[in-house]
Amino acid sequence: MDLNEIKGIYKEVFKCYEHPSLDEHIQKIIELDDYLPYSSTFFCITNTRDLTFEYVSKNMTACLGLDKSLFETQGMRYFWGRMHPDDVEQWLQALNELMKFTLSEISIENRNRMSYTWNYRLMNADGVYVNIVQNTTPIEFDIANKPIIGLAHYTVMAPEIKMSICATAKLLNNQNEYETVYFNNFSQKLLNDVVSNRERDIIRLLVLNYSSKDIAEKLNISSNTVDTHRRNILKKFNISSTGELIGIIKMNNSII
C-alpha cells in the first residue's frame, strides 16, 4: 500500500466539514512542554483534516532520534512512510472502526470525554522498528461533532516485544474514571480472514505436537505440501518459528 492509498483511506476516515480554530489549544500545550521532563514518551497535536502535526514535543527526538522539524514540515505522510508496512492495513482498519464506533455509539455530549489507544511499529533514526503505543484525546470537533484535532501521546517500547495491533476506546464516566467501551485485536482479525481452512487443519495438528510427516498422513497430503503450508503460515503471522506460532495460538484460541 503506497502513501497515496493510505492518504485516501485516512482522509475518508477523518472527513470533516469545517476547519477548527487551533490557536488557543496549541499555545497552552506549547507553554506546558517547556516544563515537562524528558521521558520515553512524546506528544503531538494532530490535525487530521490537513494531515499535519500542529506541534511536536521536544521529547520526540529523544525517543526516536528524528528531527522534529521533519514531522512539522512534511506532516503525516512522512510519519506514514516510517511505519512498518505489515502494520499499515490493520492500523487503518483500527482507525476506521474507532471512528465508526464513535459516530454510532457515543453521544455528542460525551465525545469530548473519549480517549483512544492503538499501536503499530515505526522506524527510528537507527533504522529499527520500535513499538509505538499511541493514545489520542480529541480536543476539537467539526460542525458535525466529528473529532478531527487530537492531542496524541506516543509511548516508545522495545522492538523485541511482540505486540498485536489492537484498538481501544475509553469513556470518562460520571465518576471521572475511564471505562473501556470498545476493544478489538486487529492482528487476530486479519489472521482469521487470511488463514485458509487447510492451514487451520495444519495449525491444529501442530499445536498437538504432530510432525510434518504425521500431519501429511492424517491429511492425506505430501510432507512437502505440509512444509509449504507451514512456511506460508509463519509468513502470515510474521514470525520465524513453529514454537512461536504455537505460543500465539495458545494465547488466541479463536484463531483456530
Full set of structural domains in the chain with CATH = 3-186 (3.30.450.20), 195-255 (1.10.10.10)
Q: Residues near 149 by Cβ (< 8 Å), separated by ≥ 6?
A: 20, 22, 25, 45, 46, 47, 48, 49, 54, 138, 139, 140, 141
Distance CA 163, CA 120 (A): 8
Average pLDDT for residues 112-131, to the nearest whole number?
95
pLDDT tens by residue, 169-213: 999 988 888 999 999 887 776 666 677 888 888 988 988 889 999
C-alpha torsion sign, points 200, 237, 239, 249: negative
Supply the pLDDT for residue 192: 67
C-alpha closest to that of 27 among 148, 144, 111, 139: 139
Which is it for strands 129-141 and 41-47: parallel, antiparallel or unpaired? Answer: unpaired
Q: Where are the alpha helices (DSSP H) in the chain?
A: 3-13, 23-33, 59-64, 68-81, 88-105, 186-194, 197-207, 212-219, 223-237, 242-251
Higher pLDDT, 173 or 22: 173
Supply the pLDDT for residue 228: 93
Q: Residues near 112 by Cβ (< 8 Å), separated by ≥ 6?
A: 138, 141
Higher pLDDT, 51 or 241: 51
Which is it for strands 114-123 and 52-56: parallel, antiparallel or unpaired? Answer: unpaired
Residue with cell 503471522: 237
Cell of 5: 492509498
Average pLDDT for residues 140-157, to the nearest whole number?
85
End-to-end CA distance of the chain: 28
Torsion of CA 158, 63, 120, 229, to 10 degrees: -40
Order across the sheet with 166-172: list the strands.
52-56, 41-47, 147-157, 129-141, 114-123, 166-172, 178-185
pLDDT tens by residue, 49-102: 888 998 999 999 999 999 988 998 999 999 999 999 989 988 998 999 999 999
pLDDT tens by residue, 204-217: 898 888 999 999 99
